Structures are given as structure tokens and as C-alpha cells.
A = this chain, B = another copy of it.
Amino acid sequence: MMDRGQAYGDGLFETMRAHRGTLPWWDAHWARLARGGERLGIDLPDQSQLRARAGELLADGGDGVLKLLVIRGGVARGYAPAADAASQWQLERHPLPPPIPGGLRLQWCRTRLSVQPLLAGIKHCNRLEQVLARAECVAAGADEGLACDTDGNVVSATSANLFVLRDGAWLTPPLQRCGVAGTCRAALMAPLDAREAMLDIAAVESAQAVFLCNAVRGILPVANLGARRWSPHPAIAAARAALATLHPGLVPELE
């Protein structure tokens, strides 16, 4: 029988970097999941049960990625959510993704992201826009793509947040209308003294340095965005060193 995840994408997820059998950012991931649950009216499963399952999956003390999916309970017979159906959840362990040596090759996505404040910021399971945008990148041979919203403001990559260095300051797009509020992005704001700023395409292309970040790969320097190329920048090396103190798994990859 179809569940509400399959029928409507009626769920939330988290993708967490495991380090030596632990999840250093569990609390941040849980907090975002809770914000999503409150926004959508999805009851979260019991946290201690999830942590116990995570412990089993990581019992070898190794590294990897845990993906948690929480689907609203009840049948998918119409959009109305049932009042009292317990959420379903799944937790899977996957190996770390292979490193991307030499910096990311990016492109601009033709797919634009719709503006929806009710869904912005949270990590919900309505991700067709990201699927379409990512398919463009694969077709073009790019590692990732940057997407604008339908108003032309730059939002993020398909599965990572964006930071740009302008006039010596780190800037990142606001996420109140569109995009996902990444845990890595949140962790970096204070150490980088970063601030939110609306960015258009020209503001990204004329930046001194650009990186993407997410909770699985940490900071990923950008080598090029279409024809625009960047050399390795000391401010990115400093940001990566700062991040390594916040999550022991997110140390800079050898390049």
C-alpha cells in the first residue's frame, strides 16, 4: 500500500555525517527536524529509539553517512492528514561519498526554485525541483549547479548551501522564502562572521572566492562556475580549518 511519502512527499529527512561511530551534529539535525515537524504538523518519532538504531548502524565505530527519513503516518487517501497516525521512519547507513579533488566544477541551473515561505528552510521531501536541477548538472558533466529562485535571486546549489567572499566578507543567501537551512551553513555563520545577503548572478560571479557546504562533505571550494574560474583562496582554507574544530569528520580533504 502506498504511504504518504510516496504519494505526496509528505515527510522530512536529515543526512548526517558519522565520525568514528558517532554523530557529532545529531542535536543540530534533530533541531531542524523538529522545526520541520512543527511547520508541517508531522509528529517526530521517539528520539531515544532513533539514537539507539543509529548506534546499532554505527556499532563498528566507523565513518559514513546516516540518512533519516520521517514520513507522516496514516493512509494516502486524500491530502488531509490523519490526526493520530504515528509517523513512520527509516534510518539507513551509506558509505562516505568519494572526494572531489581540485575544487568543484559548477554551472548555473536553468531550473529555478519556486518561492514558498511555508516550506523554506526545512528539509522536507518535496524535492522535484532539486531532481530536475541535478539532472541538468549530470547531463552537462558538472559536479553541482547553482539555482536561482523564480525572482532571480541566487539560493543555493542543489544539495549544498553557498558562501561567497566579497570585499573580504563571507555572504550567504537568506533562506526565508526558498532553500534549505543547512546545518553546516548554520555552524559556519559565527566562525566566519558571515551574514545573509541577497545575491544575483553577477554578485556570485564577481566574488573573490566561492564555496559550497553541507553536513556530509563539509566545505567544498569552487574551482569554476561556467567560464569563471577561481584559484584556491586562503580564506577558504581558514574556513575549512575552522569547520574541522566543529565537526571532527569534516576535516579538509587532501587535494
Contact = CB atoms under 8 A, between A and B. Distances in A.
Contact of A128 (B6, B80, B126): B126
A57 to B, nearest CB: 13
Given A2-B90, A114-B116, A116-B114, A8 B78 contact: no
Contacts of A135: 41, 79-81
* Highest count of chain B CB atoms <10 Å: which of A2, A69, A115: A2
Interface string A175-186: 000000000000
A38 to B, nearest CB: 12
Contact of A10 (B2, B92, B127): B127
Interface stretch (A21-29, A117-125, A195-203): A117-125
Nearest to A158: B79
B132 A128 contact: no
A127 B40 CA distance: 12
Nearest to A1: B92
A176 B41 CA distance: 30
17 contacts: A2-B67, A2-B92, A5-B5, A6-B6, A7-B69, A8-B126, A8-B127, A9-B125, A9-B126, A41-B135, A79-B127, A111-B118, A114-B115, A115-B150, A116-B129, A119-B128, A126-B127
